[in-house]
Amino acid sequence: MSSFKIAISSAALSALKNRLESTRFPDELDDSGWEYGVPLADIKRLVARWRDGFDWRQEEQKLNNELPQYTREIEVDGFGVLDVHYVHKKSESGQGIPLLFSHGWPGSFLESRKIIPLLTKGSGGDPVFDVVAISLPGFGFSEGPKKKGFSLSQYAEVAHKLMLALGYTEYVTQGGDIGFRITAEMARRYGGEHSKAWHTNVIYSPPPENDDPSSYTASEKEGLARGEEFQRSGSGYLIQQSTKPQTLGYSLADSPVGLLAWIYEKLVAWSDNYPWTDDEVLTWVSIYWFSRAGPAASIRFYYEFAHSGQGFGTRSSQAVPTIPMGCSLFPKELVRIPKSWYPSVGNVVFEAEHDSGGHFAAHEEPELLVGDLRKMFGKGGPAFGVVPGRSGYID
């Protein structure tokens, strides 16, 4: 294990500025708004800020001051050793519940930034957690895979081995987006002995056979309709990244403006009217631009998942995890499945439904997400005491 500080070179910052200064913008149809994609005015404003006003050094220092970061070499069966970046913040009480947080795309370890202080400090009679926020291989400052076939099983293996290396032989997990798939795989592979419970803010699953749509609630019907609309008008990225990620990767790796537009569209479209500031967006995108493996590495997992039969809409042929599972439902998540589909996913013992929030729950609504984790794992909750000797309280 090595301590880690973000320290982007001055040469890399100068190279970025040079690229931004030579940007060639596309034209735009009159009155097109968001109908065709990100508005030109938005991108021009963000590029001007990134080029002339955004202070990366200030953001870099904030991240280093707020988040205790490390790297550790993890050996992955069949793929050699990868140097993995992660945040590790222990609870103030020393009795925190070990929690592995997994981000998705287009996220990063940054998604844990707001929930870590809430989870580790607690509030009054709330349980506290030891939080490990991994940068998945190919994301952020983790090394990327070098060989084909690095898929769901390998991401789960890396996250599990990281927890073991930190001394957490028993732990719980939280994740959304691909973090849901990764933590589900951890629950399936390591559940019972190591992974004791898991929580997610999105559930992906196809419908069970002979399901009765007439039993769906109004909110469930709305959630399915939202998912259908996403498939019609918002899933082009998914098809591209699942089929020819390398082709797209040239643009993302060569053009910071292309990368900005590709990610910014998702930040806005997938959140619930979240008031993104320009600097917030630019920090988020800069993590991708300055990532260790480069922006192209972060999109290849879509291809690997799809070509291993583990895509987002596929049904697993493996056993359903039996350890306790919790879910938080946010109204602007990309899709919401009916409760009647839950048995094919896991043993749901906790559910909370909220009036605001979207795909990036940990960033958009950190208090709500943390509140659900406290209810699930706190005294009186359905997963209280699942990690022996680490209840989250000082007895």
Taking each helix axis from N to C end, the angle separating 256-269 and 10-21, rounded to the nearest 10 degrees, works out to 80
Rg (CA), the chain: 20
Q: Which residue is it, tokens 């990225």?
A: 237
The CA angle 187-180-197, to the nearest 5 degrees, is: 35
* Partners of 72 in beta bridges: 84
- φ, ψ for residue 97 (rounded to 5)? -75, 125
CA distance 34 to 93: 48
**Which two structure tokens, joined as six digits, stand for 294?**
């480069």
Contacts of 348 (CB under 8 A, 6+ apart): 325, 326, 327, 339, 342
Torsion of CA 42, 47, 49, 55, to 10 degrees: 130
Q: 71: helix, coil or strand?
A: strand
Q: Supply the residues annotated as catalytic.
A: 177, 302, 359
277: Cβ contacts below 8 Å, ≥ 6 apart: none
Task: DSSP for 190-221, please give it.
Answer: HBTTTEEEEEES----PPPTT--GGG--HHHH
Q: How far apart are CA 166 and CA 159, in angstroms?
A: 11
Contact between residue 206 and residue 180 where contact means Cβ atoms under 8 Å apart = no
Q: For residue 332, give the DSSP letter.
A: B
